[in-house]
Structure 1
């Protein structure tokens, strides 16, 4: 069971100013395990004010998610240090890779078509077309001779009309094949038309655009860190689905410098200035102090966000959010709740 703390303020009247006394309370289910600084009236030092705060990275946490839908095959772990551009999560690539391969094949085919049109038919193709045309002429002549022979036999009553009709159909088919062979011969012999070349070029451009798009989708299966830092939170694990609408997969923050987001009680806001020196303490680090300075003071009061869970805590008070940048030597875990002391110069 967690052991709660309450902060009892003891006012020492005189030059020493106010002081804070930490008192351990009997364990209870509502305890928060964190001592919150209370700067209520009558418990403030003339040369400093105290306020609760939370440690965070100098940069805001950057939420990283997927741009396309897919099943996660890898995700970086919390606490892992990452560099800018490093892959921190990856989606299954099987479908995306198949699309790239299909698009590459289409581009290859369209290039071959365009090359054939640009280069025209070679001598072998022209020869083959001419031979097929001459063969079709011979076949047509033979079919015509056979038809003439059967027609004479039909007129003499030697064959039935069905045989004559069959011979006529064979002649018609031979003539059709001759026309097709002649057309093919003329096509391979003639130079390419501008319209044919333009059509082939357009088809190649379309195929290349499809390949570019497929490669972009494939790259989007690799989700990269936009900044260098540490993985702070991991929301999805391997095997789960991610998409552009499913929220963040993880968050990354630059922890090379730390800061504390403090909440100054409205009674003390007149004493806070940018540039004032400060330090923070935490129960987990005993009497150790982590120095810093005020780098930003909000322009408007807001609602209290930090909670201790203590029964005596005031939750209806308004606070002024203030950022304290800690010295580079400070090494504290993100999310640690601390007590902030800001020197007022009084």
Structure 2
């Protein structure tokens, strides 16, 4: 009874289930609307490209001159700063100690030079003058004795040995007088000019070493760069303060106590100008022939199809580069090259952020 009715029922049920599943699998699913409509071009003929928002001076990635441990960070994200403002500084204890040693060496050389320039001391001359007077008196005394011995010898009552000894004594006294006078003149002449030149060279060397250490100390203090604002006169040097741009801190990637290196490409602090935003548009190499400088365009943020920002042509960077996916990765490999065109967003206080991607459409109509 079980086998006669149950097995056919199970077979029929399985067959119905299989038919139902096959019917559902062959049905075409209804179209699914995208969560956000893509941007639409308002132009009949267009050149499309992907754009990324950047400051008017592009992103300025501030690095470090030397490697070291960060002592203090003086800015925060979204701060407004001007050229020359301190961003961060590194540990400077070793350089400060070295500067103190070199300043002491410079002061020692300066004191030595001042001593040579002040020579002779007023107190040194009287003893030497007294020595000269003593030597002259001694010469007179020896000459007197020598004259007496000469007269005695000529009269025949003096000994020849006494005459010779007193003659030698006169020569010694005269030599001692010349030595005393030479010592007095040497002291009066002061320092030798070549000794002073050597001391001046040592002082200049010590001063240069102090300046070198101060430069190394300044390199440990990283400041905002001096960038000339667009449209300013490029022939004026040094750059007047009115021609310098103001910056906005876009990113701070370092904290006190962290180690930073002087390797290229390390984004410690990223700066951008305060003011108008630019869009860097990638034009595919296949569309370069259709692109003409000065073409107007519009930009649409990703996810906001109804929002459009008019663009104003700025310049073309005449070097075709490999395309990037705008992720910042250095391992990307692409086989497409693009021409980068810079447009300005012709809108005040546009609600856009640096690094935001936009869909750009350029009017290619004749």
Same-fold call, TM cutoff 0.5: yes
**Would the alpha carbon gap of residues 72 and 303 (structure 1) be closer, same or farther in structure 2, given more than 3 Å must change?**
same
Alignment partner of 1:259 is 2:274: no
Within the candidate set 338, 348, 354, 1:334 is matched to 354
2:325 aligned residue: 306
> What's 1:235 paired with?
253
What does residue 68 of structure 1 align with? 66
8 Å Cα contact 2:248-2:273 kept in structure 1: yes
* 8 Å Cα contact 1:258/1:330 also seen in 2: no
What per-residue deviation string (whole Å, max 9, x for no partner) do you get for residues 64-111 of structure 1?
222223211223333332211111121122222222222222222111
Aligned positions of 1:1-346 closer than 5 A: 23-24=34-35, 46-75=44-73, 76-124=75-123, 191-226=190-225, 227=227, 228-245=246-263, 247-266=266-285, 268-283=287-302, 287-297=306-316, 299=318, 302-306=321-325, 319-327=338-346, 329-331=348-350, 332-346=352-366
SS in 2 for 1:192: coil
Radius of gyration: which is bigger?
2
Return the offset for 1:192: 1.5
Aligned residues, how many?
Answer: 255
Unaligned runs of 5+ in 1: 1-20, 26-34, 132-181, 309-314
Alpha-carbon distance between aligned partners in 2 of 1:106 and 1:129, rounded to the nearest angstrom: 33
What is the CA–CA distance in structure 2 between the aligned matches of 1:22 and 1:323, rounded to whole Å? Answer: 34
Separation in 1, partners of 2:262, 2:312: 39
- CA gap 1:261/1:190 in 2 versus in 1, 3 angstroms: closer
Do the aligned partners of residues 335 and 307 (structure 1) sit closer, same or farther apart at CA in structure 2, a change above 3 Å counting?
Answer: closer
Q: Secondary structure at the match of 1:294?
A: strand
Alpha-carbon spacing, 1:216–1:323, altered in 2? closer, same or farther (3 Å): same
> Which is richer in helix?
2
**Residues 243-292 of structure 1: CA distance to partner in whole angstroms, max 9, x if unpaired?**
43363422222242211122334554444222122121214656232211
1:310-340 deviations in Å (ceiling 9; x for gaps): xxxxx76654433222125153200111111
Contact 2:51 2:359 in 1 (8 A): yes
Q: 8 Å contact 1:273–1:294 — kept in the other structure?
A: no
Q: Is the 8 A contact 1:290 1:330 kept in 2?
A: no
8 Å contact from structure 1 (residues 55, 259) kept in 2: yes
Give the CA deviation at 1:300: 6.5
Give me the TM-score of the superposition, normalised by structure 2: 0.59
Residues 334/128 of structure 1: CA separation in 2 closer, same or farther (3 Å cut): farther
CA distance in 2, matches of 1:233, 1:284: 24
Q: Deviations over 1:12-43 (max 9, x none)?
A: xxxxxxxxx98228xxxxxxxxx87699xxxx
Distance 1:191 1:197, change over 3 A: same
Structure 2: which 5+ residue stretches go unaligned? 1-31, 131-179, 228-245, 328-333
Q: Give the distance between the partners of 1:301 and 1:214, measured in 2 at CA.
A: 44
